[in-house]
Amino acid sequence: MVFLIILIVSFLLQLVAPWWVVVIISFVTCAFVGKTAKVSLWSPFLAILLLWLGMALYKSIPNEHLLATRVGEMLMVKSWMLILILTGIMGGFAAAVSGFCGYHFRRAILNVKSNS
């Protein structure tokens, strides 16, 4: 459930919003829907990893990986595929940390309310 929400909403909002919208989406989704810390960590990571890899391939294949190859040369990496994988991992990491924080934010708020 968390995986699909993050994947679909991130895809739609990234058409018009900057890349960091995935951080907000992951935080809010895991704050409201995340059942466990494990789900709130891995679901956003995998959703954004797959989304960004798919979108990077969609954009990179028509131009024969020209931009990815040039970025790889700037970073002294020979493979365009490694650049695409690193892009997906970095996006997934940002989403995972955000989702994990969203889950724990909800737990902290619920804990404060129960103590009052």
| pLDDT value, residue 42 | 97
Distance of CA 17 to the CA centre of its chain: 14
Show me where the domains of the chain are located.
1-15+39-98
| 51 has a pLDDT exceeding 80 | yes
| pLDDT value, residue 110 | 86
Q: Residue 13: pLDDT band by 50, 70, 90 thresholds?
A: very high
Q: What is the mean pLDDT of the chain?
A: 94
Q: How many CB atoms lie within 10 A of CB 99?
A: 33
| 115 has a pLDDT exceeding 90 | no
Q: How many CB atoms lie within 10 A of CB 64?
A: 10
Query: pLDDT higher for 111 or 7?
Result: 7
| 21 has a pLDDT exceeding 70 | yes
Q: What pTM does this model have?
A: 0.91
